[in-house]
């Protein structure tokens, strides 16, 4: 029994080093981060975080600090499946998505981290343990960059050790997208893989044309060509066999992933623990993908996801998160020959630099 003695929720507003753009998000110059700290009666503390677009943090913090905190107070921190279900159900009527899934994530990660720290076990071993070395790709956010800066960003990733680089699509014309993607493919070394992410820029008919035009580039995947909840659209696009499809950062529940996979709409399920309710549902999606003969990839939060993918036989790629939280963490992950290694420190092994963070606290 590890009774939950203290729960602390903080909201931070973090600036980005430079404004970056993705189609659905638009130009971002900063982001919100909600951090949950859960301390048990023995004084052991677990930490979880989730990030979202600027201005959306207050709702997430309100859910975490209100109804979810009320579920957890005084309970046995070890019974995560039970606590997760109670948190989910408490917010069911006004949940199943958006701020609730993010708030759940922060607390669920804190509970898993706490469990790992109590046991002295790193998450990747706790979750099953497969291979601590995980292939990584650079999830560059660069839709607003002029061509030269776009290409420089791709090469900077290669120089940083990546062997796979993603760029964004969704410029005003398909012709421009194809030109930029072809230029990137030409610019990157032949043995560096390339992905593209449209962030929902297109209708289904536009996506078909885009996929025909991009197919010669031999992308590892095309991500989110259309809206995330158009199951029939995904199934149609995938049936064409032109480019493998990735999707999932905008799915907030396990049943949403189950529906997309059942519809035959995805090659690379891409859950994000910060948007789908935490480690508990992420692992269910990863296992669901495996059972369906599919790989699993992650979105964002590479410092935690590296542990999860290191526990999955079907792990394909870890996205290296462009938001740069490394600058407020001790011992950030490093990249070597296109891979990251999950640390063997207890829990997720992330220690925030609270003093540096304090300057960004807004709630």
| Radius of gyration, CA atoms only, the chain | 20
Half-sphere exposure of 127 (CA within 13 A, CB side): 32
Of 185 and 299, CB closest to a second copy: 299
The token pair at 188 is: 């990157």
Smallest distance from a second copy to CB 121, Å: 31
The token pair at 177 is: 């997208």
Smallest distance from a second copy to CB 118, Å: 29
Other CB atoms within 10 Å distance of the CB of residue 197: 29
In the three-class reduction of DSSP (H, G, I as helix; E, B as strand; rest coil), residue 351 is classed as strand
Smallest distance from a second copy to CB 40, Å: 24
Of 89 and 209, CB closest to a second copy: 89
In the three-class reduction of DSSP (H, G, I as helix; E, B as strand; rest coil), residue 310 is classed as coil
Smallest distance from a second copy to CB 256, Å: 7
Please tell me the distance from the alpha carbon of residue 30 to that of residue 53, in angstroms, as a whole number. 7
Of 113 and 230, CB closest to a second copy: 230
Of 50 and 157, CB closest to a second copy: 50
Bridge partners of 4, per DSSP, are 40
Please tell me the distance from the alpha carbon of residue 227 to that of residue 164, in angstroms, as a whole number. 25
Smallest distance from a second copy to CB 190, Å: 34
Of 107 and 311, CB closest to a second copy: 107
Residue 338 DSSP symbol: T
| Positions that interact with a second copy (CB under 8 A) | 24-25, 52-53, 55-56, 58-60, 62-63, 66-67, 70, 89, 91-102, 227-232, 249-250, 252-253, 255-256, 259, 262, 275
């Amino acid at each position: 029994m590890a009774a939950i003695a203290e729960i602390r929720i903080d909201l931070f507003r973090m600036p980005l080093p430079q404004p970056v753009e993705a189609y659905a998000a638009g130009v971002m110059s900063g982001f919100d981060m909600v951090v949950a700290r859960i301390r048990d009666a023995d004084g052991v503390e677990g930490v979880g975080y989730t990030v979202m677009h600027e201005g959306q943090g207050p709702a997430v913090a309100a859910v975490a600090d209100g109804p979810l905190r009320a579920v957890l107070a005084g309970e046995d921190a070890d019974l995560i499946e039970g606590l997760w279900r109670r948190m989910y159900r408490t917010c069911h009527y006004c949940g199943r998505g958006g701020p609730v899934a993010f708030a759940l994530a922060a607390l669920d990660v804190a509970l898993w981290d706490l469990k790992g720290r109590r046991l002295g076990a790193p998450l990747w071993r706790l979750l099953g343990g497969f291979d601590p070395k995980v292939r990584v790709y650079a999830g560059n956010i660069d839709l607003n960059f002029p061509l030269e800066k776009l290409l420089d960003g791709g090469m900077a990733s290669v120089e940083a050790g990546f062997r796979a680089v993603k760029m964004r699509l969704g410029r005003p014309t398909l012709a421009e997208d194809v030109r930029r993607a072809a230029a990137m493919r030409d610019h990157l070394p032949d043995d560096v893989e390339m992905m593209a992410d449209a962030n929902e820029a297109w209708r289904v008919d536009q996506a078909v044309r885009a996929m025909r035009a991009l197919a010669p580039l031999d992308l590892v995947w095309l991500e989110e060509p259309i809206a995330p909840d158009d199951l029939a659209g995904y199934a149609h696009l995938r049936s064409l066999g032109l480019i493998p499809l990735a999707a999932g950062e905008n799915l907030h529940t396990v049943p949403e992933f189950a529906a997309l996979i059942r519809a035959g709409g995805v090659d690379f399920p891409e859950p994000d623990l910060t948007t789908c309710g935490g480690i508990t549902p992420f692992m269910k999606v990863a296992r669901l993908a495996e059972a369906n003969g599919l790989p699993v990839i992650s979105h964002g939060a590479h410092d935690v996801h590296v542990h999860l993918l290191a526990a999955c036989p079907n792990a394909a790629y870890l996205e290296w998160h462009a938001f740069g939280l490394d600058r407020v963490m001790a011992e950030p992950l490093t990249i070597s020959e296109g891979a990251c290694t999950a640390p063997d420190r207890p829990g997720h092994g992330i220690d925030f630099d609270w003093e540096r963070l304090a300057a960004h606290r807004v709630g």
